[in-house]
Every structure is written in structure tokens, then in C-alpha cells.
């Protein structure tokens, strides 16, 4: 269960680190953003638009550490 509202489709540009089919997004100023909350707990589905020329789906999970930093880890399908 998440605290956020699940959007059907929203475009949010982000910076990320990629290793193969795994991506990590470090959410800057997470208290000022809400999108990542959709992926708390067990996480949920996500779509990268126009990644390598095609839309790609995957599963995203958000984690918040003791210092309040948030990272979202995405594994592509």
C-alpha cells in the first residue's frame, strides 16, 4: 500500500544510473515530490517512455533510508 496516488500515465523526467536492465533513481528533495511514493512497499509497474527508441516496462520499488534519502530501483521486464 502506498501513500501516493497512482497515476495512469505521467511523464516525469529524472536522472538515473543504469546497469543493464536495472536503473536507480536518486530522488532529489523527496519531501517536495510525490511520484516516488507510488512505489513504496512492494512497488509497482512503471514504463520508461522512448528508452533506447522504445517504451519499456518494468517494476519499481522505492526505499527511504534513515537519513531521509530516497532511491527508486527499477528492473525492466
Q: Dmax of the chain from CA atoms? A: 37
Contact indicator for 50, 56 with CB cutoff of 8 Å: no
Task: Specify the pLDDT at position 14.
Answer: 73
d(CA 76, CA 20): 9
Percent above pLDDT 90 for the chain: 73
Residue with cell 536503473: 23
**Residue 12: per-residue pLDDT:** 66
Q: pLDDT tens digits, residue range 37-72?
A: 999 999 999 998 888 899 999 999 999 999 999 999
Between 69 and 2, whose confidence is greater? 69
**pTM reported for the whole predicted model:** 0.81
Displacement of CA 25 from its chain's centroid (Å): 6
Grid cell 514504463 is found at: 47
Q: E strands, the chain, where?
A: 17-19, 22-27, 44-51, 54-64, 70-76
Amino acid at each position: 500500500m502506498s501513500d501516493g496516488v497512482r497515476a495512469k500515465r505521467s511523464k516525469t523526467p529524472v536522472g538515473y544510473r543504469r546497469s543493464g536492465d536495472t536503473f536507480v533513481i536518486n530522488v532529489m528533495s523527496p519531501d517536495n515530490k510525490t511520484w516516488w511514493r507510488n512505489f513504496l512497499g512492494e512497488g509497482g509497474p512503471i514504463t520508461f517512455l522512448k528508452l533506447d527508441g522504445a517504451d519499456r516496462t518494468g517494476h519499481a520499488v522505492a526505499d527511504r533510508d534513515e537519513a531521509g534519502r530516497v532511491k527508486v530501483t527499477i528492473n525492466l521486464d
